[in-house]
Structure 1
Amino acid sequence: MEIPTVMVAGVPDPLPDDLTILDVREPVEWQHGHIDGAVHIPLAELVQRLDEVPDGRTLVVCQVGGRSAQAVAYLNQQGRDAVNLGGGMVEWADSGRPMVSETERPPHVV
C-alpha cells in the first residue's frame, strides 16, 4: 500500500488552521521538541485513542517518518485523511521550521 507522504518543503508555512499535526513519538521525544499546537499520541496508543484525533486533514510526524507512516496507514484504513511527513521532525528541525519544548532547553529532536 502506498503511504501518502509530503516533505517539509511541501508543508505550508504558516500551517493552515484546518490542518491537525499528530505527533506519534514517545513522551521523551515530544518533551524535547515538537510542533506548536500538535496533538501528541504515541504510536502504541493510537488505536485506543483514535477518538482524540480531530476529523479532517492530518499531518502525522515522528522522528524520521517510519512510525508516522504506520500511523498514516492505520488512520487511512479508518477512513481518515492522513499524510506522512517524510523525514519527520529531523527534517522539520533541519529546515528551520519552528518548534517548542516542554523543557528549559531550546527545542531539539532526540
Structure 2
Amino acid sequence: MSLNVSASDPEGRPETTVASLPPKLPDEVTLLDVREEHEWVAGHAPDALHVPLGQLPDRQAEVVAAAGSGQLLVTCHLGGRSARATDFLVSSGVNAVNLAGGMQQWAAAGRPLVSETGAAPHVD
C-alpha cells in the first residue's frame, strides 16, 4: 500500500501532509528523517531511519535497501530539506514522497515521538 499523494508542489514534487497520513504508517512505507543529529536526538518518530541530508548521496544504497520495494516518506523540520532529499531520490528512480510541514506538523498533530536523551521528546 502506498501513501496517498495529496498534492504535488509547484515544482511537481510528490508531496503529502501529516493530516493525509493514516493513523499508522503502512509497513511498506519507510519514514526517512533527513534532519541533523541534534534535531534527531531531541525528538523523532519511532522506527524512522535517520540519514542527515548531507550524508544522503553517500548513504543512498542504505536508504534504498531500507525501503525495499516500498515507499519512502521523507521528513525534516518543516519540509525544505526533505523536499531537496525527495528531489534527489526521485531523480534516482526511488519512490519517495515529501512530508510537507515536516516534524513540526508531525508533533503538532500529536503523532508519536521518542528522544535519544531520556528527556521528553520535542521538535524545535
- Displacement of 1:5 in angstroms is 0.8
What TM-score do the two structures reach when normalised by structure 1?
Answer: 0.96
- Displacement of 1:2 in angstroms is 1.2
Aligned counterparts, 1:1-110, within 5 A:
1-53=11-63, 54-55=67-68, 56-110=70-124
SS of aligned partner of 2:114: coil
Unmatched 5+ stretches in structure 1:
none
SS of aligned partner of 1:9: helix
Q: Distance in 1 between matches of 2:118 and 2:71?
A: 32
What TM-score do the two structures reach when normalised by structure 2?
Answer: 0.86
SS of aligned partner of 1:21: strand
Identity %: 51
Q: Distance in 1 between matches of 2:97 and 2:107?
A: 19
Detail structure 1 runs of 4+ shifted over 4 Å in the superposition: none
- Displacement of 1:26 in angstroms is 0.2
Aligned-residue CA RMSD (Å): 0.8
Q: Distance in 1 between matches of 2:33 and 2:92?
A: 18
